[in-house]
Amino acid sequence: MTTNQTAVSVHGLTKRYGRRTVVDGLDLELPSGVVAGFIGPNGAGKTTTMAMLLGLVRPSAGDGTVLGDPLDDPAAFLPRVGAMIESPAFYPALTGRQNLRMFATVGRLPEARIAELLDVVRLDERSDDPYRTYSLGMKQRLGIAAAMLGDPALLILDEPANGLDPQGVREMRELIGSLAHRGRTVLVSSHDLSELEQVCDWLVLIEAGRIVYQGRTVDFVGTAADGLAVAPEHPSDLAVLCAVLRSAGHQVHERDGRLVVDDVDDGHALAASVNRAAHAAGIVLVELSPLRSSLEDRYLALVRRGEEGGKS
Amino acid sequence: MTRIIRAELQRLLRRRTLLVTAATSVAFAAVATLGVWAAARTDGPPADRGGTTVARLAAAGGGTEAFAAGASFIGFFVFVTFIALVATEFSGGTYRALLLRDPHRVRLIAGKLIGALVVAAGALELAETLSFGLSLLLAPSKDIDTSAWFSLAGAGHALGNYATALVGVAGWAICGAALGVAFRAAPLALAVGFAWAGPFENIIARSWTTGYRVFPGQVLAAVIQGGTPEISLARAVTTATAYVGLAAVATAILLTKRDVTS
């Protein structure tokens, strides 16, 4: 990951429709080479922000650069950007291959890449069928192929897994993971946080048109455990184990048929201490595992804090 | 611009599209030619709007007279076709998707418009040729000597008829594209286009004949017909140019100022 250059840098980006502010003074810095998840609930302003970055929607205020060129000059940076926004859009009567040829012609892009891209998105066998006969997943994959036509330095994908079945979501995740190489920057929006957590090394969290977090995924989710899950071999030992651990000075509570030990400043030491106490009490443990908050947990906690802050 | 035109031609010049276009041209040529020849009057002035006389059919321009008389209907057909073509680009999201490859909004629509007009020009040429051929077959039924059709003057008439039809069709196409851009949804744009150029203009013009000289649809139809009793070709071209110019400017402003969203 190269972080000494910025792929996207915008300041005070705002979009108002009448009295309604959809994007509200957004400051966004996206380092080159990251796979960034753009996260927010429906209506948070993700698509509008992406549309402004692509020159489709004009900002009410704010400025910035995309790949070093001014935001208000999309002709300068779009040849180096690939995007799929809102939903894949192609001519229904044309085949997948014909659609890509047409897009390549308009963008003055080499048609030689079409066969390679159809192979990458696993559409080579259906490439000569009309687009209207494609499943939703195939349409999304063709959209990715179209975005990749120019071998872009920046790839912007708006909800690429939207409407896909679990298999399709997994394929899309693998595809996005495979696209992030050779210094390419990827900005992918979704409200499926578990999917993004697995593929993104950078996060941009947006809520009601405002950025609530941007930075490394690992910094947001954290590496330290939030607790330790402990379960005895025999469920009947649960109450005894709870009393033993409390008497050893640990903060313990029961959750879903097991114990959760809080306070994990030193996870290794805590695990060892718990294990020793259980062993001394003659209890065999079948689970002793660190608990980590998911991206979803962290995100929801952040949103809740924001709401509480707003009320107070 | 040329690559956008080329891309549009890639899309339109497919076997199925070509067959539909050719079939439409054949149908138009057959209906227009048979209708005009059947209604051609031996004595007196031609029938109202689109009619002709045997004397005119026997003149140098007789070979393409049926094409010229019937071509005004092509204008309306092109109008609704271009409304649908352009509005669907917006509602289907393909305009938005193509803008990501070429962000020059006006150039993109203009290129697509020109590409589609190239196909329309070919269809017109086919229709005129077929109409001429059919007229040749029908000429004996009216005891018409067709030698004048093959004179230099006949060629001039054929070329003139084609040129006015093409100019008129281009005008209709730009107006149709303007409605498509303005409404961005085919059903609404078509409803407005149909209502205006269909019943509205024609009903009013029948009771207020000045309408034939001022309504855009009537003026464009007059251009295609090479002028009408109500308005000369020169005046029709001038007025139509003003309307089409206005439509083009309004379209360019809408494209430039408006956000591109689904």
Which pLDDT score is estimated for A310? 56
- B94 vs chain A: nearest CA distance in angstroms? 5
The DSSP output letter for B199 is I
The domain spanning residue A34 has which CATH number?
A: 3.40.50.300
* CB atoms closer than 10 angstroms to residue A266: 11
- The answer to whether residues A11 and A64 touch, using CB atoms and an 8 Å cutoff, is yes
Provide the pLDDT for residue A294: 73
Of the partner residues A89, A94, A105, the one whose CB lies closest to the CB of residue B96? A89
Chain segment B71-117, per-residue pLDDT in tens: 877 888 888 889 999 999 998 899 999 999 999 999 999 999 999 99
Looking at the fold, whether A167 and A287 belong to one and the same domain comes out as no
Residue B182: phi and psi, rounded to 5, are: -65, -45
Which residue out of B100, B102, B114, B254 would a mutagenesis test of the A interface target, given it has the greatest number of A Cβ atoms within 10 Å? B100
Residues 6+ apart with CB under 8 A from A138: A96, A123, A126
The model's pTM is 0.81
Residue A131 near chain B (CB below 8 Å): no
**One-character DSSP codes across A72-125:** T-HHHHGGGEEEE-SS----TTSBHHHHHHHHHHHTT--TTHHHHHHHHTT-GG
Task: Please check whether residues A145 and A245 belong to one and the same domain.
Answer: no
More confident residue, B36 or B252: B252
A-proximal residues of B, 24-53, CB under 8 Å: none
What integer is the mean pLDDT of A256-275?
A: 79
Q: Are B102 and A56 within 8 A, CB to CB?
A: no
A51-76 residue pLDDT tens: 999 999 999 999 999 999 999 999 99
User: How far is C-alpha A303 from the geometric centre of its chain's CA atoms?
Assistant: 16
Tell me the nearest-neighbour CA distance from A1 into chain B, angstroms. 26
Better-predicted residue by pLDDT, B200 or A194: B200
Domain that holds residue A59: 6-221
What is the pLDDT at residue B149?
87
Look up residue B203 and give its two tokens: 């009903």
Q: Which of A264, A265, A241, A268 is nearest to A253 (CA)?
A: A241
State which of A183, A205, A221 marks the end of a domain: A221
A308 is a domain residue: no
Q: How far apart are CA A288 and CA A230, in angstroms?
A: 5
- Shared domain for A273 and A252, answered yes or no, is yes
On whether both A168 and A278 belong to a single domain, the answer is no
Asked whether residue A125 falls in the same domain as residue A247, the answer is no
Beta bridge partners of A35: A186
pLDDT at B49: 59
Compute the average pLDDT of residues A284-309.
Answer: 75
The answer to whether residue A275 sits within a structural domain is yes
Residues B109-143: tens digit of each pLDDT: 999 999 999 999 999 999 999 999 999 998 888 88
Examine the domain organization and report whether A119 and A27 are in the same domain: yes
Which is higher by pLDDT, B39 or B29? B29
Cα separation, A15 vs A21, in Å, equals: 6
Instruction: Kindly report the CATH number assigned to the domain that includes residue A235.
Output: 3.30.70.270
- Where residue A3 falls among pLDDT bands split at 50, 70, 90? very low
Same domain, A170 and A264: no
B20 token code pair: 């539909």
**Chain A contact present for B20, CB below 8 A:** no
3-state secondary structure A211-236: EEEEEEHHHHHCCCCCEEEEEECCHH
Residue A244: CB atoms within 10 Å: 19
Domain count, chain A: 2
Q: How are strands ordered across the β-sheet holding A258-261?
A: A252-255, A258-261, A227-232, A285-291
- Tell me which residue in A51, A107, A149 faces B102 most closely, judged by beta carbons: A107
Handedness of CA B201, B202, B207, B208 (dihedral sign): positive
SS3 A68: coil
Give the residue from B11, B98, B101 with the most A CB atoms within 10 Å of its CB, the best one to mutate: B101
In angstroms, the CA A46 to CA B66 distance is 58
Residue A259 pLDDT greater than 70, yes or no: yes
Query: Where is pLDDT greater, at A290 or B189?
Result: B189
* Whole-number pLDDT of residue A41: 82
Q: Is B199 on the interface with A (CB under 8 A)?
A: no
Minimal Cα distance from B105: which residue of A? A56
A102 lies within 8 A of chain B by CB: yes
